[in-house]
Amino acid sequence: MIMNGWVFIDKPNGITSFQVVNQIKKALGVKKIGHSGTLDPFATGVLAIAIGEATKTIEFFNKSKTYEFLVSFGKLKDTDDITGKTIRVSKNIPTKKDIGRCLINFLSNYKQVPPNYSAVKVDGVRAYKLARMKKQFSLKAKKVQISNMNFSETNKNNEFKFIVDCSTGTYIRSIARDLGAMLDTYAYVKELRRTKIGSISEKDIILLDKFLELVHIGDHFEVINSIRKVLDDIPAVLMDNELSRSFQNGLGFNYFDNDLSINELLFEDKNKLLGIGSVEEGKVKPKKVFNL
């Protein structure tokens, strides 16, 4: 049975996102598979995995994300997270009031430098590879959007729990590092969990082991989500049979008023999804055509 759709995994701690994808690829015996939004090995939570024709929609699934994470103050780690080596120590531990005064810095025009141990490329080489080789390099700051940021105390005076809603491409480890610097101390991410990508939340996810168990007994089809589920915010257009054939052949055609231009539309006929296209001055131009 050809499988096209999404599965939302609760990524376990201690393995890479690629390893999760690889395990599912082997279990399902599929060739086309990918994921939207890498999680660090120590992180857990929502990992969206596209199967078959759904891989064509990964680029359209760059949604806002929500993270819950624990920040520990007083130490600087080379990776900016719990897995790294401690390279500096400070006795300066901020209070709840101190931290509260800093939050505005993240909610307005925040630019962050990615961690040295990240997948950002420097002259074609991943930054984490250069960091492991002790090479000297610098990464450029980029603007990210943080729409909401809250925090609370824990039973340890140097640890605080945060919840952040942010744009895709935001590094939570950089937030912790920058927060430490703003407070004249050091900080790193001790725990990290992604709880939401767009409209996909923890209620939609399944444990990796549970999913693999369902695959083994052949009961996994009910937890495969449709391609449409991740495209629910893209307007849809219903087409007749003749125009459907033109779209599926990758041909452009006039369909709307000449003044209309739309970057993304979902096209379908009465039987299935056809793909994603744009409209430029009334002319439909296919971007991604589904073979369903």
Which pTM does this prediction carry? 0.91
Read off the CATH number of the domain in which 241 is found: 2.30.130.10
Residue from 10, 40, 178, 204 carrying the catalytic annotation: 40
Residue 62 confidence (pLDDT) above 80: no
Contact between 236 and 274 under an 8 Å Cβ cutoff? The reply is no
> pLDDT at residue 2 above 70?
no
Tokens 């000297």, residue?
136
* Residue 195 pLDDT: 97
177 Cβ contact partners less than 8 Å away, ≥ 6 residues apart: 76, 80, 115, 186, 187, 188
* Exposure b/e, 23-50, CB count within 10 A at least 16 = b: bbbebbeeeebebbbebbbbbbbbbbbb
Q: Quick check: 252 pLDDT over 90?
A: no
The pLDDT value recorded for residue 270 is 87
Query: Do the Cβ atoms of 247 and 274 come closer than 8 Å?
Result: yes
Residues 14-60 have pLDDT tens digits of: 999 999 999 999 999 999 999 988 999 999 999 999 999 999 999 88
Same domain for 128 and 215?
no
Please tell me whether residues 99 and 203 are part of one structural domain: no
Give 70-127 pLDDT, tens digit per residue.
999 999 999 999 999 999 999 999 999 999 999 999 998 899 999 998 888 988 889 9
DSSP state of 81: B
Domain of residue 117, residue span? 65-196
pLDDT of residue 259: 80
Total domains, the chain: 3
Q: Is 40 a catalytic residue?
A: yes
Q: In this structure, are 69 and 189 located in the same domain?
A: yes
Asked if the model's pLDDT at residue 170 lies above 80, the reply is yes
